[in-house]
Chain A
Amino acid sequence: MSPNSGTDIGTAARAGSAARRVPAVMVLAGLALAPFVLGSYAVGTLSRILVLALLAMSVNLLTGLTGLATLGQSAYFGVGAYTAAIVARKLTDVGVVQLLAAAAVSALVATATGWLAVRARGVVFLMLTLAIGEIVYSAAVNWKSLTNGTDGMSGIPPVVPLPGMPALELDGLVYFYVLAVFLVLFAMVAHLAGTPFALALRGIRDNEDRMRAIGYPTRRYALTVYGGAGALAGAAGALWVSVQRFVSPGDAGFEIAALALLAAVIGGSGRIWGACAGAALVWLTRDYLGNLEVVDGHGKLLLGALFVTAVYTLPRGLTGIRVPRGLRSVAWPSRKRTA
């Protein structure tokens, strides 16, 4: 299965996969060549977009694939970021170790908190995840002995991807590290999308009662994907620390969660590349337009406007999920694509 065929197996997507490989190769080539063309700031922005794309993929696993809208993935992103920062400062500057530690701790926290969250569905799930996010944020602010409070943690050494490799000081080299990890994780998520496990998750999204009736322990499935999405968000948090070399409570904050959800919504349901494109659009809006003279300091206003516009103009964003099965192959190809 090619990485860009998304989670949407068994529909029109497969027929068009050969034709769609061309843009995927072009995007890949563009990503690989970007540091040779772009300036240092733009390359840093691209790294951040890749990190946000991973976070949006994590949101998409829950929201798009399983139908559990979440506003709490910033919590596990933050847990991963702080874990990676602490490992980097106290233990080792090897990137892979930081990534694995961040993913493991985030998965653990996600499983513990998810045990509560997956008892709910719909809006209550959204509320619970929002509350989990806020609690992790306030823990990041108040647990000063561990997190250094609102001052954040600086002095994080440059990342060494694998043992024996040199430390990456330049933005361009860090970018390649982020890109490599991104591609590995993207491939993993794309592979997951083709498994029976993912099909069962889609079943939960479309009709949980029926899934339960035919014997699937749906809550355990939901908890498993919640833990996995937490691990993915944690890995994204570790990459974030490698890029920023700084971590503060804001990285676990509400705005990150909202950005990730928006990226997943704009990207459309269930499609992995859609979440990545959404992440790029959201971050560019925030970063570039927000820096223009006209909107000086009004990034939040712009973001809000983007939210409102997205809801009214992209009705197929996430609600395409609710299209009945029989209609899906008709409805999906006409969906508006954001890229």
Chain B
Amino acid sequence: MGGWLDSHLVSVVDGVAFGLLLFTLAVGLSLVFGLMDVLNLAHGTLYLAGAYVAYALSDGSLWALLLALVAGVAAGTLGGAALTLLTQPLARRGHLDQAVLTLGITFIAADLLAASFGGEVLPTDPPTALRGSADLLGHTYPIYRLVFIGVALAAAALVYLVFERSSLGALVRAAVADRDMVRALGVDTRKVLYGVFAFGAALAALGGVLGAPILGPGPGVDETVLVLSLVVVVVGGLGSVRGALVGALLIGQVQTLGVALLPEYAPFLLFGTMLAVLVVRPRGLLPSAVRT
């Protein structure tokens, strides 16, 4: 066992990094769906926008990364508010219309981004101070990924604490469980909707800024991360932060360790995992409270 872990340690740690990256995306997607019944297919675009911001601003210094973080989060927040504004008129019209609308927005954004940044995948370098490798139990491992894991873990812990332990989080959880009841209690649920959508979008853009050196921006990346985060949401259970975290870490391992162990079955591992989880637990691993 020790030997096995030793030879696959890099894959496992990569999987943790990738899983946390997916968490930053999936949590927003999951909560927005839980709250508003909106399937936001433009969620991958927010990641892509954040990654392009990181690419455009990166000059090797830590300040540039910090600036990119601020700019990316601001862009994500604005994007989330704009998406709420656009999807709200369709709230009564069912999922399909919202899906088609956000899909259209994805296409428009993808075209505009490709026109400004070109059709290549742009490898983004981490800041100079975080380049190079560290020694990880006898393996060399990029420092940036370790830092990324640390920062993303902190962000995940923060989201988890706010969502599960604060009164603000209780309000959001209540609105996910039964929006009408919360409204009847005198809460303006539209503010909750805007807040959660903007927050989820900002988190996705943050994932993009930090994730650019791991999964660089380019055409099609929005689709890739969208599908992966949808799988995370389905596997983890809709409308739940815990579910998104567990699902993201599982899918992260499937995409790195799984592919390293069974390279010939790589395309089918994702589907196989989803199949296995849904057969055992049709509503995902840790779904939110049952809605009435």
Contact = CB atoms under 8 A, between A and B. Distances in A.
Nearest to B219: A300
A135 B270 contact: yes
B274 A131 contact: yes
A135 B271 contact: yes
Contacts of A122: 95
A258 B106 CA distance: 11
A219 to B, nearest CB: 12
A296 B111 CA distance: 12
Contacts of A261: 100
Interface residues of B, number: 42
B96 A127 contact: no
Q: Chain A, interface size: which category? A: 35 or more
Interface in A284-335: 298, 300-301, 303-308, 310-312, 315, 317-319, 322
A122 B101 CA distance: 16
Contacts of A298: 111, 115
Chief secondary structure at chain A's binding surface: helix
Interface stretch (B174-182, B207-215, B229-237): B229-237
B267 A143 contact: yes
Contact of B223 (A126, A128, A134, A308): A134
B99 to A, nearest CB: 6
Contacts of B115: 298
Contacts of B107: 258, 300-301, 303-304, 307
Contacts of B109: 304
Given A116-B278, A304-B108, A310-B100, A69 B95 contact: yes
B236 to A, nearest CB: 12
A317 B90 CA distance: 13
B238 interface: yes
B124 to A, nearest CB: 23
9 contacts: A124-B238, A142-B266, A254-B223, A258-B103, A300-B107, A301-B112, A307-B100, A315-B97, A318-B96
Given A298-B115, A303-B104, 20 more contacts: A69-B96, A120-B278, A127-B230, A128-B234, A131-B234, A131-B270, A131-B274, A132-B271, A134-B227, A135-B267, A135-B271, A139-B267, A262-B100, A265-B97, A304-B105, A304-B110, A308-B104, A312-B89, A317-B97, A318-B94
Interface of B: 33, 37, 39, 89-90, 93-97, 99-101, 103-112, 114-115, 223, 227, 230-231, 233-234, 238, 266-268, 270-271, 274-275, 278-279, 282
